[in-house]
Structure 1
Amino acid sequence: MDRLDNTIRPYAWGSTTAIPELLGVEPTGEPQAEMWMGAHPGAPSRTARGALNVVIDADPERELGARSVEKFGPRLPFLLKILAAGAPLSLQVHPDRAQAREGYEAEEQRRVHIDAPHRNYKDANHKPELICALTPFDGLCGFRNPLQAAELLSRLDVDSLKPYVDVLHAHPEEAALREVLTAVLSADRDEMATTVAEAAAACARLAEDADASDLAPDYAAYASIARHYPGDPGVIAAMLLNYVQLQPGEALFLGAGVPHAYLGGLGVEIMANSDNVLRCGLTPKHVDVPELLRIVRFEATDPGVLRPEAAPDGEEVYATPIDEFRLSRYVLPEGATPHDLTAPTPQILLCTAGSVRTGEFTLAPGQSVFVPAGEKSEVSGSGTVFRATVVA
C-alpha cells in the first residue's frame, strides 16, 4: 500500500482553521477548502511510486483489480475529499450520466474550450456525491414542498415575493417549482437585488422572533447566505430548498438533478470522478439558466439524512444507490481486534480521529493510504478510519 501526500485546494469559501486543526498544524491564514485523495488529474495524490494517476495508468488491472476495470474502466472511479466550508458554496446541481454525455458531446462539437468560463461539462460522467459530517454541518438539499416554501416566503412579508407565493399555492408541484425558480433566475438583476436585500432583512428579524421558532434556524441560515452573497438571486432560490443540519457521523447523498449547497462545517466527501456542475447562484461564476432548467428535477424531496448501518464485523456503511463509490467507517476502541480489510477492489483509508495502524503505516488524523486491489490490509489502533472503495 502507499501513503498518500494530498493537495489542499485554497478555494475562497474554505475555512482557515478546520483542516489545520484536523491535521494538527498551524493555520496559514489562507482558506483551505478541500483536501483531495485519489487519482483525479487536477490534483492527484502523490505516493513514493509517483502520482497516483500515473501509477494506476501504468498497470490498471494490478492497481484496481480486474472487476473494477471491467465495470468502470482503467481509472479510479471515485474521488475522496476532506471538505471544510467556512462560507456557503454555490447553489448547484449535477447531471445524470446520459445528460452529461449529451452535454459534453454538444460542447465538444461546438468546440467550446475545456477551460472556458461558460463551459458546463468538463467530462461525460455523472457526479453523484455523499457528504459525511465530522463536525456539525449545515447545508441545503432538495426542494421543499411548494406549500412549505410558500409559507416560508409569506412570513417574510416582502411585496415582490408575493407573486411567487401565489404560484406555489396555485400550481401542481413540478410546475410551481419550475415557474418560481425560472422567474427568480431570469428576473432583472437590479430589481432582484432589492428583493434579496428586503428578504435578508426579514430573515434576520425572523431568526430572532420567538413566534417563528419552527423556522428560526432556516431564516438564520438564509440571512447568513445573504451576508455572503448580497443581491444574488441564489439567495431567493435557496429559500425553495430544505435546510439541513447534520450532526457528526450523519451524511447526505446527493443524486442527479437535486439542487444543493454546503453552508458550513467539516466533512468527508466522496463522489464519482467527475467535475460537472450546473450552478444556480451564490457564485460569481457562469449560470446557464436554460441548461440548468434542463437538468434540475423539479420535485419536493426529503433530504434523507443517512446514518451508517453497522455490520457484524464493526464496519459502518453509508448505503447509496450507485456503484462508483462505497463509503464506510470503523470506530476502533482501545485494544480492539484488528479488522481484515483485504478486498478485490481498490481502497483509500483515511484516519479522522485517534491513531490507526494499517500495514507498515501509522495514520494520524487527516492522513491516508491507497490500497491496491487484493493487497493484504487490516486496520487496528484506537480512532476512526473511513474506507472508500467501489461496488464491483
Structure 2
Amino acid sequence: MDRLQNTVRPYAWGSTTALPELLGTEPTGEPQAELWMGAHPGAPSRLDRGAGAVTLDQVIAADPEGELGAATTAALGARLPFLLKLLAAGAPLSLQVHPDLAQAAAGFAEEEANGVPLDAPHRNYRDANHKPELICALTAFDGLCGFRPASGTAELFDALGVDELKPYADLLRARPEGDALREVFTAVLTAEPEAVARTVELAAGAAARLAAEHPDHRFAEACAAYAEIARHYPGDRGVIAAMLLNHVRLAPGEALYLGAGVPHAYLEGLGVEIMANSDNVLRCGLTPKHVDVPELLRVVRFESGDPGVLRPEPDATGAEVYATPIDEFQLSRHLTEGAAGTVLPDGRPQLLLCVRGRVTLRGADGAPFDLAPGDSVFAPAGESVELGGSGTLFRATVADRVAR
C-alpha cells in the first residue's frame, strides 16, 4: 500500500470550510472545492516508494498489469479507470450532462480531426471516454438530477404564476412528454438573452415567495433551491432549465448515480464522488463557460423519472456497496468498529479513503497504516488489506464482475 498526497482544487463554487473541517486544517478563506485521489493527469496523486515522490499515473504506466491486475487491464485498459474525490460545494455547480461512450469517442475524434486544441474554451470532448459518476453524501447534500415529469413541471409553473412561464406550461401539457421536454429545454437555451433574463428574474422572485409563504407546498423545497441558484446566477437561462429538473436532498450515506445524458447539478454539501476517468462535460447553464446547444441537445436524454436515490446494500464481506451498472468503478462504505480481521477482496486496484474517526490498515507485511479523515492510500492488485480501528472508510475499485 502507498499513502497518497493529493491536490485540492480551488474552484470558485467550493466551500471555504467543509474540507478544512473534515481534514482538521485551518480555513484559508479561499474556496476548497475538490480533493482528487487517483491517476487523472489533471491532478494525479503522489506517492513515495523510497526513491522520491512520483505520480500515481507514472507508477501505473510503468507496470499496468502489476498495479491494476490482469483482469482490470484486459477489460478496461492500462490506466486506473476511476477517479475518487471529496467534493465540497458551497455554491451551485454548472448544470451539465455527460456523453455515453460512443458519443464521447465520436466527438473526440471529430474535434481532433478538426484541429481543435485540447485546452480550447469551446472544446467539448477532452478525451474519448464516458463519465458516469456517483455522489455519496457525507452531510446533507442538495442537487438536481434528471427531468421531472412534464405534468409536474407544468404544475410548478402554474404555481409560480409568472405569465412568461405559461407558454412552457401549455407546451408541457400539449405534447408527448419527450417532445415537450426537448422543445421547452431548447426554447429556454435559445431564447433572446434580455427576454430570458427577465423571465429568470420573475420566476426566481416567485419561487422565493412560494418557498417563504407556503413552506408546506409540494414544491416549496425545490423553489427555495431555484431561488438560491438565481441568487448566484442572476439572469442565467440555466435557472429556468433547472426548474425542469428534480430537486433532491440526500441524507448522509445516500447517493445518486448519474449516467450518460442525465442533466444534473450539485448545489450544496460535502460528499464522496467517484467517476470514470474522464473530463467530458457538456454544460447547459449556470456557468460563464462555453455552452454548445446543438451538441448538448444531441446528448441530453429527454426522459423523466425519479432520480433514484441509492442506499448501500451489505455484501457477504460486511461492506455496504452502492450498486451501479458500469464496470469502471464500484464504491463501498466500511464502518470499521469491530472490523479487526476483516480483509478486503484483492485482485484489483483500490483507493481507500478515511472520512471519520481513525482507521488502521494492514498489508501483507503487517505494517499498519493509520488514517485520519481525508487520508487515503492506493493498494495495487494483489495487495491484501486488513481493516481495523474505529471510523468510516470508503473503498473505490472496479466492479466485482471485472475482477472475476
TM-score above 0.5, yes or no = yes
Alignment of 1:1-392 (within 5 A): 1-49=1-49, 50-210=54-214, 213-333=217-337, 335-359=338-362, 360-391=368-399, 392=402
Shift of 1:195: 0.6
> Stretches of 4+ moved more than 4 A in 1?
none
Are the structure 2 counterparts of residues 170 and 211 from structure 1 closer, same or farther at C-alpha, using a change threshold of 3 Å? farther
Amino acid at match of 1:121: Y
> Relative to structure 2, which stretch is displaced further, 210-219 or 195-204?
210-219
Distance 1:342 1:318 in 2: 16
Are the structure 2 counterparts of residues 364 and 197 from structure 1 closer, same or farther at C-alpha, using a change threshold of 3 Å? same
Task: Report the TM-score when normalising by structure 2.
Answer: 0.96
Shift of 1:210: 2.5
Q: Secondary structure at the match of 2:240?
A: helix
Q: In the alignment, is the contact (CA less than 8 A) between 1:343 and 1:373 conserved in 2?
A: yes
Distance 1:259 1:58 in 2: 38
Shift of 1:229: 0.2
Shift of 1:212: 5.5
Distance 2:215 2:158 in 1: 14
Shift of 1:342: 3.9
Where do 5+ consecutive residues of structure 1 fail to align?
none
Distance 2:65 2:345 in 1: 16
Distance 1:191 1:241 in 2: 21
Amino acid at match of 1:369: V
Q: In the alignment, is the contact (CA less than 8 A) between 2:339 and 2:387 conserved in 1?
A: no
Q: Secondary structure at the match of 1:194?
A: helix
Q: How many residues align?
A: 391
Shift of 1:142: 0.2
Q: In the alignment, is the contact (CA less than 8 A) between 1:326 and 1:390 conserved in 2?
A: yes
Are the structure 2 counterparts of residues 235 and 113 from structure 1 closer, same or farther at C-alpha, using a change threshold of 3 Å? same
Q: In the alignment, is the contact (CA less than 8 A) between 2:96 and 2:282 conserved in 1?
A: yes
Amino acid at match of 1:189: P
Q: Secondary structure at the match of 1:32?
A: coil
Identity of aligned residues (%): 70
Distance 2:143 2:384 in 1: 38
Shift of 1:314: 1.5
Shift of 1:155: 1.1
Q: In the alignment, is the contact (CA less than 8 A) between 1:206 and 1:212 conserved in 2?
A: no
Distance 1:11 1:336 in 2: 37
Over the aligned positions, Cα root-mean-square deviation in angstroms equals 0.9
Shift of 1:61: 0.7
Q: Secondary structure at the match of 1:300?
A: coil
Shift of 1:338: 2.6
Deviations, residues 352-390 of structure 1 (Å, cap 9, x unaligned): 000000122100001000000001211111010000000
Distance 1:184 1:300 in 2: 18
Q: Secondary structure at the match of 2:178?
A: helix
Partner of 2:365: none
Distance 1:220 1:189 in 2: 24
Q: In the alignment, is the contact (CA less than 8 A) between 1:342 and 1:378 conserved in 2?
A: no
